[in-house]
């Protein structure tokens, strides 16, 4: 009969939270005053170019209220700008400002360093497998 004891330290949610705490500590040491959600929004805007706020939310796995708050804070810092879409005035387009692009140019390497340091305890093969498994879970 399998052991049915519930031990917190062996549960997926606990382990993912601990790994995320470690990652967030590394992130905070490298990225500075951007939150992970702000960093994600900027990274995706670099990839996509100008896009709707709703699409950006979907692409970054943020709900409508969260992405709105992220965009509002990035706008206040002058890192992104918004405007109504010419084809659909109900749609809000978001794009990086020159300051946002300049910040990204400084942070892209640091973002890669955050990933490398987060995964550093794993061998190269383990890193590849771990990332593949995480993709499978998402």
Query: How many whole angstroms separate alpha carbon 23 and alpha carbon 28?
Result: 9
Name residue 95's beta-bridge partners: 81
Q: List, in sequence order, every beta strand (DSSP E) within the chain.
A: 51-52, 80-84, 92-96
Q: What is the pLDDT of residues 90-101, one digit of tens each?
A: 889 999 999 999
pLDDT value of position 47:
97
**pTM for this prediction:** 0.89
**What is the reported pLDDT for 1?**
56
Helix (H) or strand (E) holding 100: helix 98-119
* Selection from 89, 85, 51 nearest residue 67 by Cα: 51
Task: Dump pLDDT digits (tens) for 38-74.
Answer: 999 999 999 999 999 999 999 999 999 999 999 999 9
- The whole-chain average pLDDT of the chain stands at 95
From edge to edge, which strands make up the β-sheet containing 92-96?
51-52, 92-96, 80-84
């Amino acid at each position: 009969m399998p052991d049915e004891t519930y031990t917190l330290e062996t549960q997926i949610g606990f382990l993912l939270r601990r790994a995320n705490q470690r990652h967030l500590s590394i992130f905070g040491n490298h990225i500075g005053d951007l939150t992970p959600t702000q960093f994600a929004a900027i990274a995706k805007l670099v990839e996509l170019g100008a896009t709707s706020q709703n699409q950006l939310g979907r692409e970054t796995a943020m709900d409508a209220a969260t992405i709105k708050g992220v965009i509002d804070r990035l706008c206040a810092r002058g890192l992104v700008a918004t405007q109504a879409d010419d084809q659909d005035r109900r749609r809000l387009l978001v794009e990086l400002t020159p300051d946002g692009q300049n910040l990204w140019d400084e942070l892209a390497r640091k973002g890669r360093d955050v990933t490398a340091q987060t995964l550093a305890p794993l061998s190269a093969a383990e890193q590849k497998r771990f990332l593949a498994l995480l993709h499978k879970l998402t």
